[in-house]
Structure 1
Amino acid sequence: MSALTDKVVVITGGSSGIGHAAALDFARGGARVLVTGRRRALLDEAAALHSNIEGLVADVAVPEDASRTIAAAVKKWGRLDVLVNNAGAGAILPLADATDAAIANIFAVNVFGPSLLTTAALPYLGAAKGAVINVSSTFGQKSGARLSHYAASKAALEHLTRCWALELAPRGIRVNAVAAGPTESGALTGMMGMSPEQAAAVEEQERQQIPLGRRGQPEDVARWIVRLADPASDWITGQVIGVDGGLALT
């Protein structure tokens, strides 16, 4: 039996990309997984891939959805062992074009949402001696023109990771983060709002800049999320692990 058998995992933004890959890895390891997202069709597709995956329509940017998400997992399976704050928002946003709405949207998803979800999960994670894994980005540490607010939100998430790790260690809750590099997840045309032509140009530029010579696959990042959640990692907390082909070094 896997150490994850019958553990209960909540993954935000779990209907595609890194979250989807992590949900499959957890489910194949025997965990019960609740994935959230805003589109029912994608959630249904994710749930159809494994009997251990359930979907819930929820928006990380909506404060009320935080407690509703955690309550749904606990109601169905009676416990919560792992929270993966994976849902993300970003934009190519030059400072000259920044608006309060655009900045607020990025921080609502990348900072406020994980904070409220983790707060709602605390009683159950404490009872289970569970784990929180936050999904950050290489740009939480690496500067990028026209990415200032996205990068700042990920830097904030990484520092929340370290602060929460200290605060929650006495309760037996571990908190870590994975800083993902560019992956083949459709984020450029989706989250970042680029045209297919713009995305293709950026992807080629990234391939040339990444020391290991390729963009990542969602599975490259997902396996580290699962490893950090595994009880075998029970002496690791407060860490931000870069999974980016060496991009942060450039």
Structure 2
Amino acid sequence: MNFDFTGKVVLVTGASAGIGESTALLFAALGAKLSLVGRNEGKLRAVAAACHKLRGLQPLPIVADLGTDEGVEKTAKETLDHFGRLDVLVNNAAVGCRTTIQQLDMKAFDEVFRIDVRGVYHLTGLLVPALIESKGNIVNISSVAATMVSVGSLPYPMAKAALDHFTRNVALELAPKGVRVNSVSPGVTVSEFVTRVTNQSEEQYREWLAQMSKNVPMGEPCLGDDIAKMVVHIASEHSRLVTGAIIEVDGGLRFRGIGNALTDQ
């Protein structure tokens, strides 16, 4: 099965690390023209440079905070001004936090929902006209945490549950316009997400991954490439009639439960 995105414009948010970086690199290898968004300028430009080396196409790096209206509007405008079209929107940018209802940290709650839900809602809305014009599609990066119960990161699974329902509703709304909308739902995935949220050392993170892997029926965590390959498949013509789907890539973790721990973005 061959995937070819030559001539297609793909926007990946949260592209400076983790799943977003892996997704950007795979789309670049498949010939896509890329708009890459992140908050860390140094890392974002490094990813853009790595993408450029693969096929000689220069990505458009956009340094923006998608938790702000200004950042969202900048992203949409610069992407469309530069490329004149959009074929695939990958809503990957997200944050998490360590808190519970008993700790009641409203600042953390607001930050998670501002980026993980409101930013996605706003950016998608601004880009829908371009996606209708290109008969493109949207891939949201969710999490198995959306449907599993754990203690310690309450706003994050709530936000991902909202994202899943957003996916289904927007898929129904845009289907008559020829635009598909789907979610890829990772389980434990090797990235910087957990260390950013928990301030773990590298050794602590390795221990956490080893412990979490014991809960995964297939015995190992996902890699960013595992998620990226599913994103590409769903965004391609090989999935032309797939819409409103929530597709788990988790090694079966959802069958076992995640306990008192975060999943990885």
Query: For the superposition of Structure 1 and Structure 2, which TM-score range results when normalised by the shorter chain?
Result: over 0.9
Report how many aligned residue pairs link the two structures.
Answer: 250
Give the one of 110, 129, 135 matched to 1:129: 135
Question: Percent identity at matched positions?
Answer: 37
Query: Partner of 1:25 in structure 2?
Result: 26
Contact 2:23 2:225 in 1 (8 A): yes
Give the one of 101, 108, 115 matched to 1:95: 101
Cα distance in 2, alignment partners of residues 50 and 150 from structure 1: 30
1:74 equivalent to 2:80? Answer yes
Query: Partner of 1:110 in structure 2?
Result: 116
Query: Partner of 2:50 in structure 1?
Result: 49
> Which secondary structure does the structure 2 equivalent of 1:73 belong to?
helix
1:16 equivalent to 2:14? Answer no
Alpha-carbon deviations, 1:71-112, whole Å to 9, x = none?
211111110011100011101212222222110001111100
1:199 equivalent to 2:214? Answer no
Query: Partner of 1:233 in structure 2?
Result: 239
Alpha-carbon deviations, 1:214-249, whole Å to 9, x = none?
111100001011111112211000000000111011
TM-score of the superposition, structure 2-length normalised? 0.90
Alpha-carbon deviations, 1:153-200, whole Å to 9, x = none?
100000100000001111111000000111111211114443445433
Cα distance in 1, alignment partners of residues 136 and 20 from structure 2: 19
1:167 equivalent to 2:173? Answer yes
1:21 alignment partner AA: S
Please say which of residues 190-199 and 223-232 is displaced more in the overlay: 190-199
1:202 alignment partner AA: W
Cα distance in 1, alignment partners of residues 99 and 116 from structure 2: 15
Contact 1:87 1:110 in 2 (8 A): yes
| TM-superposed deviation, 1:14 | 0.5
Please say which of residues 150-159 and 183-192 is displaced more in the overlay: 183-192
> Which secondary structure does the structure 2 equivalent of 1:23 belong to?
helix
Contact 2:35 2:62 in 1 (8 A): yes
RMSD (CA atoms): 1.4
Query: Partner of 2:263 in structure 1?
Result: none
Q: Structure 1 residues 132, 87: CA separation in 2 closer, same or farther (over 3 Å shift)? A: same
Cα distance in 2, alignment partners of residues 85 and 190 from structure 1: 19
Query: Partner of 1:34 in structure 2?
Result: 35
> Which secondary structure does the structure 2 equivalent of 1:190 belong to?
helix
Query: Partner of 1:6 in structure 2?
Result: 7
1:211 equivalent to 2:217? Answer yes
Q: Structure 1 residues 7, 123: CA separation in 2 closer, same or farther (over 3 Å shift)? A: same
**Moved segments of 4+, more than 6 Å:** none
Give the one of 157, 162, 171 matched to 1:156: 162
Cα distance in 2, alignment partners of residues 48 and 198 from structure 1: 31
Cα distance in 2, alignment partners of residues 101 and 15 from structure 1: 24
